[in-house]
Amino acid sequence: MFLRLAHQHRQFVQDLVMNLQALAVVLERRGYPASCYTCGDQMNSASFMVSLGDNHLIRFLVSDYGITWTEMRDDRELMKLEGAEAISQLDELANLVKQSMQTDTGSKTLAKKY
């Protein structure tokens, strides 16, 4: 049972890393400085960052040790979430990007939320 759970966890992290990479590409195309760095070829960890302007930065980390969402403004931490809450916040960001692509007011939609 534990080996199966370990395999599922590795697969989950890999899927999350691939989605972070895609989100970084989409945000870059929408005009937001974004990046997603991974360590090694196994895609078992990543550091995702996006700048929403006005010294407003979001950082999402995923690894075997955990998942965190950190939101900063003017180099001060506004919010730090972990685990499922961090993933929910990331999902909200991704949904806002999707919405902004449909309405074509990308910077206004994201700037209003964050």
- pLDDT tens-digit profile, the chain (114 residues): 999 999 999 999 999 999 999 999 999 999 999 999 998 888 899 999 999 988 999 999 998 889 999 999 999 999 999 999 999 999 999 999 988 888 865 455 566 566
Q: Distance between CA atoms of 41 and 97, rounded to whole angstroms?
A: 28
Measured CA distances, 33 to 1, 2, 26, 57 (Å): 42, 40, 10, 10
Half-sphere CA count of 32, side-chain side, radius 13 A:
29
- Does the pTM surpass 0.95? The reply is no
